[in-house]
Structure 1
Amino acid sequence: MSEKSSNFEIIEAEDRNFSLGSSGINENALKNPAFVYLTSLGSKFSRTGMKNALLRFAKFFGFQNLETVPWERINVASINLYKTQLLKEGRSPNTINTYLAAIRGVIKAAWQIGLISDHEKLILATVKPVRGSRKYSGRALSQIESSKLISFCRAKNEAIDIRDIAIISLGIGCGLRRNELSELKLDDINFTDQSIRVIGKGNKERIVCGSEIVFIRLKEWINIRSGGGCPEVFVRIGKHGDLRLNRKLSPMAIFKMLQKRAQAVGLEKFTPHDLRRTFATRMLDVGADISIVKEAMGHSSINTTQRYDRRGLEKVREYSRSIQV
């Protein structure tokens, strides 16, 4: 591996630590606006996603990696050409705008390190985002589906099952993201007032609360997990049921666990983020004001929270039929 490529290797794997101090970054990397932009992102998941977006842009113009792109030569025509290609591919407006946001991030970094002028930055900022919307992806689990998952795990009731019940319960009952589940610390849990301190996207702290049953299930797992090892709540479990207290459960491991559980129960596939959608949908379904749901989920905008509403067409029909004409 070349020295140049190794500078970007630190911005890719979910299970690696993002560490500038030990990466051996050379001076050229610090002059690369893509690297400067990616290292400015607060979340390793954001870095991975935006790195992939930039790689897609680079490869569209014939570059195989981010190191060889002459980022300072980006112009309005090249961005619009790329945007047109994404539209031809049928990409959703949200996806295209995310890709454009990554490019804008590199443009800003290029300006910050003196590769482009104020005038060039202003011109590039005139590229408009794509308008429109698509039906949001993902789904909410029904009460029957979540009950099936919990019952299936409870039937075996081994350490791994108790752990997975706690993860599913926190996802549905508190709306935690998979990386928040992975990073959750023992010290972040307050059983007295049934609350959890969460550090979410953008390094934003919030306090989440849950029902009594959620904390009962969480306590069951912690009693098995006990103290020691890593500070995280959820740890790996070996094939023979041995707890690996020094190895936290990664976000990818949580994703794969839920896929495995869904298949075992015969449910339609769902993702960890669908548990979060389920949380929002059920809160709205019981009458919670959307501003309350926004706070519970740690969103900056109610518009973001609205995308998590999966009450669906049946709810629309229910309310529509009650209208007197």
Structure 2
Amino acid sequence: MTWDEKIKDFEIFLRFERNFSENTLDAYIRDIKKLQTYAIDDLENTGPEKITYDNLQEYIFTLSKQKFSERSQARWISSIKAFFKYLLEDEIRDDNPSTLLEGPKLGLYLPDTLSLADIEKIIEAIDSNSDLGKRNHCIIEVLYGCGLRVSELIEIKISNINFKENYIKVIGKGNKTRFVPLAQFTAKLLKEYIAEVRSKNKINKKYEDTLFLNSRGTSMSRVIVFIIIKELTDKAGVSKKISPHTFRHSFATHLLQNGADLRYIQEMLGHSSITTTGIYTHLKTEELRDVILNYHPRNSNSA
């Protein structure tokens, strides 16, 4: 049995039995391949069936000295635990050396958000007279107006947009389907993009139903969307560290600030658990705290 064989088996297990998304799957396999390199180079080619708890502890310690974030370290341990649990269940091992591994204690993660003014600045930085600018404007409006993940954005099919009822059928994590309302303003932009911009493209036959296309007439990559947003935020002078996911966080936060029920936000974001959506209540709690400190009579100097 070799590392390559078991990593390939593990990948198949995660893809077909655990139904991992491509991004999560890639991250887990990358993590285990790093462990494989360490085992070959530093542990005299120790195989996955013989590696010990002490070996794993030393490996994690070695990585932790390289100034990776606590969140990255936590994911390594999650990947390693999943891998050795799989080997145990597959009867490759009769023990699990990762059981006692402990990840770093993660504090409460409050996602970065943009103000409406920030979003307007970013949109104003777009050259709305060019076809590329019109496409990029649509991308920003859909990310913010529908709260989509970047992987969901680049997979939108025109046939899944219902302009009569104004909603988009979205295929999310774990192949789960949800229906996200489409604001009239966003729907109008999309119609104009499809009729006036996209129709000019020479479209690859395989991508005739894909909404957002690159210059080659094929689907856009996640990386290109990141680059577009980086360039626009730099041009707009917005100094926050922004990714496509920032617009999703902003979508949820602004809905909550304006009185939307958390359960509805959960549905629109496609979270399987309300606990995940609950992170946004902490953002609102911070605002409420500021309101109390600034406006409650017990905090008034004149009281």
TM bucket (normalised to shorter chain) is 0.7 to 0.9
The match for 1:49 is 27
The offset of 1:205, in angstroms, is 1.6
TM-score using structure 1 length: 0.76
**Distance across 2 between alignment mates of 1:194 and 1:314:** 32
Please state if 1:212 is matched with 2:189: no
Aligned to 1:262: 233
Letter in 2 for 1:251: R
- Mapped to 2, the partners of 1:158 and 1:212 lie a distance apart of 22
Amino acid at match of 1:111: L
Matches within 5 A, 1:171-320: 171-223=143-195, 224-226=197-199, 229=205, 230=207, 231-237=209-215, 244-245=216-217, 247-268=218-239, 269-307=241-279, 310=283, 313-320=286-293
In 1, are the aligned partners of 2:124 and 2:236 still within 8 Å (CA)? no
- Equivalenced residue count is 283
- Letter of the 1:262 partner, please give it: T
Equivalent in 47, 54, 64 of residue 70 of structure 1: 47
Amino acid aligned to 1:194: N
- The 5 Å alignment of 1:141-160 reads 141-153=114-126, 155-160=127-132
Residue aligned with 1:197, SS:
strand
Q: Deviations over 1:21-74 (max 9, x none)?
A: xxxxxx978x7222222232332211222223223333444549xxx7611223
Provide the C-alpha distance between the structure 1 equivalents of 2:46 and 2:183, rounded to a whole number of angstroms: 51
Q: 1:290 to 1:81 in 2, by over 3 A?
A: farther
Does residue 1:98 correspond to 2:75, yes or no?
yes
Q: Mean alpha-carbon deviation: is it higher for 226-235 or for 160-169?
A: 226-235
How far, CA to CA, are the matches of 2:69 and 2:262 in structure 1?
A: 25
**Aligned-residue offset at 1:97:** 2.7
Letter in 2 for 1:270: I
Matched, 1:109 2:86: yes
Q: Structure 1 vs Structure 2: percent identity of aligned residues?
A: 26
Does structure 1 retain, via aligned residues, the 8 Å contact 2:110–2:283? no
Where does residue 301 of structure 2 map in the other structure?
none
| TM-score, structure 2 as length reference | 0.81
Conserved? CA contact 2:73–2:103, under 8 Å: yes
Contact 2:80 2:98 survives alignment (8 Å): no
Q: Aligned partners of 1:85, 1:324: CA distance in 2, in Å?
A: 54
Measure how far apart 1:108 and its partner are.
Answer: 3.0
Q: Please tell me whether residue 130 in structure 1 is matched to residue 103 in structure 2.
A: yes
Shift of residue 208, structure 1, vs aligned partner: 1.2
Question: Aligned-pair distance for 1:312?
Answer: 8.1
Cα distance in 1 for partners of 2:53, 2:285 equals: 40
Counterpart amino acid of residue 248 in structure 1: S
Question: Aligned to 2:125, what secondary structure does the other structure show?
Answer: helix
CA distance in 1 between partners of 2:273 and 2:51 (Å): 31
Residue 206 of structure 1: how far off its partner (Å): 1.4
In structure 1, stretches of 5+ residues that fail to align are 1-26, 238-243
**CA drift at 1:175:** 0.8
CA-atom RMSD, angstroms? 2.9
Segments of structure 2 that go 5 or more residues without pairing to the other structure are: 299-303
Distance change >3 Å, CA 217–CA 99, structure 1 → 2: same
Determine which of 27, 31, 37 is the counterpart of 2:10.
37
Q: CA deviation at 1:270?
A: 1.0
